[in-house]
């Protein structure tokens, strides 16, 4: 088995939702599911021919989740077994950060006497050397567009929570056969879009193949003794879709679905810290929804009572490819007995380190909205400067074309994204014996210079093409007014 690593960089804001719902409360994701990377490779599904089932469905290739990177290092979701005093940030908890099943009744009472209430930790990511971060989201309010009336639709307001650009993520792909390695690397590193609203200003990414990042993960190779009994702890590195005794996807897994039989006594739910969710993935190629998945969330901890002589190392090797269903999509990854779960104080011995990560802490919706408004104003200002420079460079060619600019402005109003307006202006599809694109036929083609048309075409490479053309169609006609 081989493992290849990738870095995913956000070149724009990206919208990641936990489900395909478009109404009601939408759960945001703080990681990139492996199914997204599987989908990027599946664009070339037919070229895999007879191997397609093996690559995309049988688990021979496993596209793992991407998690946020801190200074280029791999991070892990905070285990739900972690407890710290209420109101104390994780990076400041140090000796007061505990795995709760190690706390005695007396230690709980000591917390209460100090007016410190232990609280379960549910959000955030950390590195094995004790650096922490939480993701922030940018909120933007939008309105649906009425094409017929050329204005915003009434009662059609909606909002997006997006992860900001410039974030870096790390993920891996595991392969049982290196036969597909080069092809998968090529398809992933040429992918450019991710998440929802990709036709708008969201979802632009860059993926690079990288060497294995630094990671100092350590694991206990013996069962952990607590109150005279012996346990192993499974930390959910990804979401887990496990099954019951009837092999039906369930929130209450059987020991068989955990691939543990010899030496296992029972799943101890009192010492387990499990959070669950459900989602129904949408498959574009079938234009339909897949089966609903019942999953145990990333960060959950499952405690299993075992015999004293249980072979932890053998079990680690047995489940190295994952447990449960949908392994190809990155589900089923677990770590057995990681020390940040087995130790009473995971970071008590570490010196306090400054977190130099550029990732921002969670901001309120109001602050996010104000930040988004400011960023949008800056973006619009830079875009206007770009338009003014374009007009200055093509001043003579732009004059005396008011009616054509008006028609271009109308085309902008009925276009949804950069590709759509470009198609309307430069489509070479033949209709009535001439190219369909507005600037390739009729009066525009006759009166406009080839230099101006090519300059407008080339501006698409600079991004924000729809906004640029719309602003250009507004300000260009004013050159005629300056002469009168």
Task: Identify the pLDDT of residue 22.
Answer: 55
How many CB atoms lie under 10 A from the CB of residue 225? 10
pLDDT tens string 192-219 = 999 887 666 788 999 999 999 988 899 9
Residues 58 and 174 in one domain: yes
Strand, helix or coil at 384?
helix
Residues 414 and 298 in one domain: no
pLDDT at 443 over 90: no
How far apart CA 201 and CA 370 sit, in angstroms, is: 18
Residues 406 and 326 in one domain: no
pLDDT at 175 over 90: yes
Residues 69 and 31 in one domain: yes
- The better pLDDT of the pair 395, 311 is held by 311
Evaluate if pTM is beyond 0.85: no
Query: Which percentage of the chain shows pLDDT scores above 90?
Result: 41
pLDDT band (50, 70, 90) for residue 21: low
Indicate whether 372 belongs to any domain: yes
Indicate whether 70 belongs to any domain: yes
Task: Identify the pLDDT of residue 457.
Answer: 87
Instruction: State residue 268 phi and psi, 5-degree precision.
Output: -95, 100
Residues 429-447, mean pLDDT to the nearest whole number: 79
Residues 324 and 354 in one domain: no
Indicate whether 109 belongs to any domain: no
Indicate whether 468 belongs to any domain: yes
Cα–Cα distances (Å) from 255 to 114, 238, 265, in that order, read 41, 19, 9
Task: Identify the pLDDT of residue 352.
Answer: 45
Task: Identify the pLDDT of residue 425.
Answer: 87
Domain end call among 296, 327, 360: 360
| CATH code of the domain containing 247 | 3.30.70.1900
Q: Which of 45-59, 305-319, 323-337 is the least confident region?
A: 45-59
pLDDT at 164 over 60: yes
Residues 313 and 210 in one domain: no
The residue range of the domain holding 169 is 2-80+122-214+349-360
Q: Please measure the distance between the N-terminal and C-terminal CA atoms of the chain and give it in whole angstroms.
A: 75
Indicate whether 328 belongs to any domain: yes
Residues 207 and 263 in one domain: no
- The better pLDDT of the pair 160, 52 is held by 52
pLDDT at 358 over 70: no
pLDDT at 173 over 70: yes
- The better pLDDT of the pair 472, 335 is held by 335
Residues 141 and 261 in one domain: no
pLDDT band (50, 70, 90) for residue 437: confident
Cα–Cα distances (Å) from 170 to 8, 9, 104, 125, 181, in that order, read 6, 9, 38, 13, 18
How many CB atoms lie under 10 A from the CB of residue 244? 14
- The better pLDDT of the pair 420, 400 is held by 420
Indicate whether 100 belongs to any domain: no
β-strands 264-267, 76-77: how paired? unpaired
Indicate whether 453 belongs to any domain: yes
pLDDT band (50, 70, 90) for residue 285: confident
* Torsional sign, CA 71, 73, 77, 83: negative
Tell me how many domains the chain contains: 3
Residues 30 and 150 in one domain: yes
Domain end call among 360, 395, 417: 360
pLDDT tens string 110-130 = 887 888 888 999 999 999 988
Residues 243 and 165 in one domain: no
- And the tokens for 381? 């200002």
pLDDT band (50, 70, 90) for residue 107: confident
Exposure on the CB side of residue 13, measured as CA atoms within 13 A: 21
Task: Identify the pLDDT of residue 479.
Answer: 67
Residues 209 and 301 in one domain: no
Residues 77-81, mean pLDDT to the nearest whole number: 96
Query: Which percentage of the chain shows pLDDT scores above 70?
Result: 89
Task: Identify the pLDDT of residue 361.
Answer: 45
How far apart CA 312 and CA 146 sit, in angstroms, is: 62
pLDDT at 78 over 80: yes
Indicate whether 135 belongs to any domain: yes
Residues 355 and 232 in one domain: no
Task: Identify the pLDDT of residue 251.
Answer: 93
pLDDT at 133 over 50: yes
pLDDT at 142 over 80: no
Task: Identify the pLDDT of residue 448.
Answer: 77
Task: Identify the pLDDT of residue 365.
Answer: 55
pLDDT at 259 over 50: yes
| CATH code of the domain containing 60 | 3.30.70
Task: Identify the pLDDT of residue 349.
Answer: 57
Residues 240-263, mean pLDDT to the nearest whole number: 92
Task: Identify the pLDDT of residue 366.
Answer: 56
Residues 52-74, mean pLDDT to the nearest whole number: 92
How high is the mean pLDDT of the chain?
Answer: 85
């Amino acid at each position: 088995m081989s493992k290849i690593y990738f870095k995913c960089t956000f070149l724009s804001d990206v919208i990641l939702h936990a489900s395909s719902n478009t109404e009601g409360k939408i759960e945001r994701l703080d990681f990139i599911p492996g199914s997204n990377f599987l989908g990027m490779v599946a664009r070339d599904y037919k070229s895999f021919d007879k191997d397609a089932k093996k690559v995309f469905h049988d688990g021979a290739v496993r596209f793992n989740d991407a998690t946020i990177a801190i200074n280029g290092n791999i991070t892990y979701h905070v285990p739900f077994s972690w407890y710290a005093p209420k109101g104390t940030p994780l990076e400041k908890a140090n000796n007061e950060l505990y795995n709760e099943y190690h706390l005695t009744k007396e230690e709980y009472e000591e917390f209460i006497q100090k007016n410190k209430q232990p609280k379960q930790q549910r959000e955030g990511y950390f590195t094995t050397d004790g650096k922490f971060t939480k993701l922030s989201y940018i909120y933007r309010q939008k309105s649906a567009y009425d094409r017929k009336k050329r204005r915003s639709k009434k009662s059609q307001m909606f909002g997006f929570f997006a992860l900001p650009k410039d974030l870096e993520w790390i993920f891996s792909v595991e392969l049982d056969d290196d036969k597909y390695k080069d092809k998968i690397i090529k398809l992933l590193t040429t992918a450019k879009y991710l998440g929802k609203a990709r036709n708008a200003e969201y979802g632009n990414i860059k993926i690079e193949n990288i060497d294995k990042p630094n990671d100092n993960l350590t694991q206990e190779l013996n069962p952990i003794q607590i109150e005279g009994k012996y346990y192993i702890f499974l930390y959910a590195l990804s979401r887990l879709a496990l099954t019951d005794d009837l092999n039906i996807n369930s929130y209450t897994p059987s020991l068989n679905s955990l691939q543990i039989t010899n030496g296992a006594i029972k799943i101890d739910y009192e010492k387990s810290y499990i959070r669950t969710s459900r989602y129904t993935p949408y498959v574009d190629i079938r234009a339909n929804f897949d089966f609903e998945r019942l999953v145990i969330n990333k960060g959950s901890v499952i405690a299993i009572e075992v015999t004293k002589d249980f072979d932890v190392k053998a079990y680690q090797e047995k489940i190295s490819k994952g447990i449960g269903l949908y392994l190809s999509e990155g589900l089923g990854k677990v770590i057995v007995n990681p020390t940040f779960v087995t130790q009473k104080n995971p970071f008590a011995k570490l010196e306090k380190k400054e977190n130099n990560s550029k990732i921002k802490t969670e901001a309120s919706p109001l602050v996010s909205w104000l930040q988004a408004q400011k960023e949008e104003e800056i973006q619009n200002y830079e875009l206007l400067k770009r338009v003014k420079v374009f007009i200055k460079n093509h001043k003579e060619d732009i004059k005396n074309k008011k009616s054509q600019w008006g028609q271009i402005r109308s085309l902008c109003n009925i276009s949804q994204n950069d590709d759509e307006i470009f198609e309307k202006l430069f489509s070479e599809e033949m209709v009535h014996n001439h190219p369909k694109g507005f600037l390739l036929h009729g009066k525009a083609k006759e009166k406009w210079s080839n230099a101006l048309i090519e300059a407008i075409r080339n501006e698409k490479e600079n991004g924000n093409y729809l906004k640029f053309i719309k602003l250009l169609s507004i300000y260009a006609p004013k050159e005629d007014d300056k002469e009168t």
